[in-house]
Amino acid sequence: MNRLTPRPLDDSSHLDSTLGRGMDVAIITALFLGAGYLLDRWVGTKPLFMIVFVLLAVIGEFVRLRYVYDAKMQELESRRAGAAQARRSER
Domain borders along the chain are 22-90
pLDDT at 8 over 60: no
Q: What is the average pLDDT across 59-73?
A: 93
pLDDT at 18 over 90: no
Q: What is the average pLDDT across 16-24?
A: 82
In whole angstroms, what is the distance from residue 27 CA to residue 36 CA?
A: 14
Q: Cα 45–49–55 angle (5° rounding)?
A: 150
Q: What is the average pLDDT across 65-77?
A: 91
pLDDT tens for residues 21-53? Answer: 889 999 999 999 999 999 999 999 989 999 999
